[in-house]
Amino acid sequence: MEAPLTGNVVLVTGSSRRLGAAIARRLHAAGANLMLHYRRSESDAQALQAGLNAVRADSVALVKADLLDASGLAEIVRNTLARFDHVDALVNNASSFYPTPLGEITTAQWDDLIGSNLRAPLFLSQAAAPHLKKVGGSIVNIVDIHAERPLKNYAVYSLAKAGLAGLTRALARELAPEVRVNAVAPGAILWPEDDTFDAVSRQRIISQTLLKRVGEPEDIARAVYYFIAEAPYVTGQVLAVDGGRSVTL
């Protein structure tokens, strides 16, 4: 792969596993230096850092933080600047996902789902914005196709992601013309690591997808890379990467 992001610094939240790790690998392969955020998955984060630094020494650093602690969000950006001196892109990937059936929703669930999926991206973006403006940088938010078409029994998650889609467009207006802000909306890419979706539910979702298969984390990573590296005239957009499922919902 060419290295068009050589010299760029990208902060990726929730980057130790799953989609975040795929995004990190893709951007690193394109030459970017990375600040990788994690909360609990320390061993995974350290393994990812070691593997990428073995490819290019001192190109990846780690920052541990709870994104629900709003007072610490600006510190994540400060740590990135202290390590790499500047920041060119922010990828708001970290997310919480679980059902909240109406009638059983708690304030703790609200705080968690809104906090990770909407509040943290807002305040991280606010903290990073002055530094992104200096370099003509970009923000990429990881949304969900259910931001537009709510998932039954996932009301709080769906509206949090809807808020993040709205935030993407609002920030695009607020930060233009210096900073581009876009979002990627995954469909069926990785199943949750619990029994939330049984075999029947999974097959039903696949059958609703025009391409009749699930996607790969690399599909999301490619879209993030596109927005950061190959879309200088694109801002305020939400790209569905869902195999066509949103067309049928």
- Catalytic sites, residue numbers: 157
User: What pLDDT digit, counting tens, does each position of 81-131 carry?
Assistant: 999 999 999 999 999 999 999 999 999 999 999 999 999 999 999 999 999
**pLDDT tens-digit profile of 22-56?**
999 999 999 999 999 999 989 999 999 999 999 99
Mean pLDDT for the stretch of residues 143-162: 96
Q: For 242, which DSSP code?
A: S
Quote the pLDDT of residue 6: 97
- The alpha carbon dihedral of 153, 123, 79, 25 has a sign of positive
Residue 248: its pLDDT value, please?
87
Model confidence, pTM = 0.95
Q: What fold is seen in the domain 9-191+217-243?
A: Rossmann fold (3.40.50)
Mean pLDDT of 183-194: 88
Cα distances (Å, whole numbers) of residue 149 to 6, 8, 21, 186, 187? 38, 35, 27, 12, 11
The pLDDT of residue 201 is 85
pLDDT of residue 249: 82
